[in-house]
Amino acid sequence: MDYFMAPGRNHLFVPGPSNIPQKVMQALNRGNEDHRSPAFPVFSRQLLADVTRIFSTQSGTPFIIPTTGTGGWECAAVNTLSTGDRVLTFVFGQFSHLWSQQLQKLHFDVDAVQCQWGGGVDLGVLDSKLRADEEHRIKAVCVVHNETSTGININLGVVRAILDLNQHPALLLVDGVSSIGALAFRMDEWKVDVALTGSQKSLGLPTGLGILCASPKALEASKSARSPRGFFDWSAYLKSYELGSYWPYTPSIQLLYGLRAALDLLFEEGLENVIKRHHRLAHATRLAVKAWGLELCVKDPELYSDTVTAVVVPSYLNSTDVVRVAWRKYNLSIGIGLNKVAGKVFRIGHLGFLNELQLISALAGVEMALKDVGFPVKLGSGVAAAQAYLQESTPLIPSRL
């Protein structure tokens, strides 16, 4: 069965991969070229400089690597740590769980603090673990900024404050896969040592680029870090930066042009406006969920994510059925629940290149799917709640003032 045989368009509302904007599609649609020509470094230098803007850093060094978010995790760890180093992680959803597991596979001494799924980093435990660690055996604290499986956004300013309060020198490694480029991310202010994202989320590109940024402290750590590393070794990239060639291996040329277009779109809209738009769409979604009489997976409003909303279904329903019927009947793709919350939550992704009316269509589809699976929803209730808020809060399109 051909997925694209359904008439009309697919409404892609999973929390990544996200919609690819037309301008990005066009930018991707080009042939190969000689990345060792004199023209390519000019393009690359600017691209690398510009990509740091989505991290809000002046001092960070970017790496654009052909990989995915999962590769980004590995890249961050093997460049800054040595085998056997103690690493503190917090597991509060599927991605923080997978990152912890990967760190174990890489033979780090992982202290994985199990937290509630639907909650965030246990800040009390963070504080007590750092305080007890007088010998500074913890070499890194790893935090998923936006836990895509539960719709949780962590306040990294508070995490940083706890590290500072304890005068603890551990590196702060942050997964920003479903936040960077959509939510406020202040690498310098929060003194994040390595931040990473993937191309297929907020940037609206195909999967295939891991985009990392390393602080001066992380670069310094990489000089003495002894984890075995080959493909992901930053030193090859740093050498090519010095040489002005920028790529140690053949880069993914089309994806780099796509990234150029994606960044241009973000800068044209203005990063502050991008963040505000994501907040508007997320708030509208949360209002719809409330109007349906359903609960969010996240209970604490301080932890609300503005890129993904995880919705809990009543125990007599299986959330996967909602996802299935939405796809089969309405050509609407929403996310299933993962691991511990499988069958219990479905997820509405509202990240990337997306506007108010697109969101309304997804909310309408979710409503119908809920009714299809036997949930007594009043059709139009969530849509109306979202509309009322969006009608009031949506600004004029800047180019059409």
Ligand X SMILES: Cc1ncc(COP(=O)(O)O)c(C=O)c1O
Q: Which stretch binds ligand X (CB under 6 A): 129-137, 144-152, 185-193, 252-260?
A: 144-152
Write the interaction track for ligand X spanning residues 42-81; mark x where CB under 6 A is met and - where it is not. --------------------------xxx-----------
Out of 75, 144, 221, 362, name the contact with ligand X by CB under 6 A: 144
> Can you say which residues are annotated as belonging to the binding site for substrate?
347
Q: How many residues does the chain have?
A: 401
Q: Under 8 Å CB-to-CB from 256, ≥6 apart: which residues? A: 43, 44, 47, 64, 209
Q: Which stretch binds ligand X (CB under 6 A): 141-149, 217-225, 228-236, 290-298?
A: 141-149
| 333 sits near ligand X (criterion: CB under 6 A) | no
Contact 237, 248 (CB under 8 A): yes
The letter for the amino acid at 397 is I
Minimal distance, residue 270 CB to ligand X, in Å: 25
- 3-state class of 217 per DSSP? helix
Alpha carbon separation from 133 to 157, 167, 319 (Å, rounded):
21, 11, 42
Minimal distance, residue 255 CB to ligand X, in Å: 13
Minimal distance, residue 224 CB to ligand X, in Å: 27
| 352 sits near ligand X (criterion: CB under 6 A) | no
Between residues 70 and 101, which has the closer beta carbon with respect to ligand X?
Answer: 70
3-state SS, one letter per residue, for 345-362: EEEEECCCCCCHHHHHHH
Minimal distance, residue 362 CB to ligand X, in Å: 18
How many chain residues touch ligand X (CB under 6 A)?
13
Q: Which stretch binds ligand X (CB under 6 A): 30-38, 174-182, 241-249, 353-361?
A: 174-182
Q: Which stretch binds ligand X (CB under 6 A): 101-109, 143-151, 220-228, 346-354?
A: 143-151
Return the half-sphere exposure (C-beta side, CA atoms, 13 A cut-off) of residue 343.
Answer: 5
Out of 95, 234, 246, 346, name the contact with ligand X by CB under 6 A: 95
Between residues 211 and 369, which has the closer beta carbon with respect to ligand X?
Answer: 211
Q: How many Å is the Cα radius of gyration of the chain?
A: 21
Using CB atoms, what's the residue nearest to ligand X?
69
Closest-CA residue to 266 (of 182, 188, 185): 182
| 116 sits near ligand X (criterion: CB under 6 A) | no
Q: Integer distance in angstroms from the first to the last C-alpha of the chain?
A: 45
DSSP 375-388: ----TTHHHHHHHH
| 178 sits near ligand X (criterion: CB under 6 A) | yes
Phi, psi of 129 (to 5 degrees): -65, -40
Write the interaction track for ligand X spanning residues 197-236; mark x where CB under 6 A is met and - where it is not. -x--------x-----------------------------
Minimal distance, residue 208 CB to ligand X, in Å: 9
- How far apart CA 353 and CA 266 sit, in angstroms, is 9
Out of 11, 16, 28, 187, name the contact with ligand X by CB under 6 A: 16
Q: Under 8 Å CB-to-CB from 35, ≥6 apart: which residues? A: 247, 250, 251, 253
Q: Which stretch binds ligand X (CB under 6 A): 140-148, 180-188, 293-301, 309-317?
A: 140-148
Contact 115, 144 (CB under 8 A): no
Minimal distance, residue 156 CB to ligand X, in Å: 14
- How far apart CA 277 and CA 293 sit, in angstroms, is 25
Q: Under 8 Å CB-to-CB from 130, ≥6 apart: which residues? A: 88, 138, 141, 162, 163, 166, 168, 170
| 175 sits near ligand X (criterion: CB under 6 A) | yes
Site residues (vs ligand X, CB under 6 A): 16, 68-70, 95, 144, 146, 148, 175, 177-178, 198, 207
